Amino acid sequence: MTRSFRVLKSNVLRVAIKTMDTRNLDLGLLVTLETLLAERNVTRAARRLNLSQPALSARLARLREALGDPLLIPGRRGMVLTQRAVELQQPLHEALEGVRRVIEQGAPIDPQTLRATVVIAASDYVQYVLLARYSVALRAEAPMIRIAWRALDLAALTTQLERGEVDIALAMPESAPAAMRQRRLCTEEYVVIARQGHPNVRDALDLDLFCALDHVVVSPQGGGFAGPTDSALEAIGRRRTVALSTSGFLIVPEIVSRSDMIAVIPRRIADGWSDRVQVLEPPLPIPGFAIASIWHERTTNHPAQSWLRERLAALV
3-state secondary structure of 194: strand
| Nearest C-alpha neighbor of 26 from the set 105, 81, 99 | 99
Q: For the chain (length 316 residues), average pLDDT per consecutive 10?
A: 42 40 76 91 88 91 91 86 91 82 69 90 95 94 94 94 93 92 96 97 94 95 89 97 94 97 97 95 97 93 90 92
Helix axes 27-39, 53-67, angle to 10 degrees: 100
- Quick one: pLDDT at residue 222? 77
- Quick one: pLDDT at residue 13? 35
DSSP state of 205: -
- Give the number of other Cβ atoms within 10 Å of residue 144's Cβ: 11
| Nearest C-alpha neighbor of 287 from the set 237, 246, 251, 233 | 233
Question: Are residues 250 and 132 in contact, defined by beta-carbon separation less than 8 angstroms?
Answer: no
* CA 150-154-158 angle, 5° bins: 95
The whole-angstrom separation of Cα 316 and Cα 134 is 8
- Quick one: pLDDT at residue 49? 87
- Give the number of other Cβ atoms within 10 Å of residue 255's Cβ: 15
The whole-angstrom separation of Cα 60 and Cα 35 is 11
- Pair type for strands 241-246 and 168-171: unpaired
* CA 263-265-269 angle, 5° bins: 125
Question: Are residues 316 and 186 in contact, defined by beta-carbon separation less than 8 angstroms?
Answer: yes
Spatial neighbors of 87 by CB under 8 A, at least 6 apart, are: none
- Quick one: pLDDT at residue 107? 61
Spatial neighbors of 11 by CB under 8 A, at least 6 apart, are: none
Q: How many CA atoms lie within 13 A of 65 on its CB side?
A: 10
- Quick one: pLDDT at residue 106? 58
- Quick one: pLDDT at residue 76? 80
Q: What is the pTM of this model?
A: 0.69
- Quick one: pLDDT at residue 75? 84
- Quick one: pLDDT at residue 23? 64
| H or E stretch covering 58 | helix 53-67
Sheet of strand 116-122: strand arrangement: 145-151, 116-122, 168-171, 289-295, 181-188
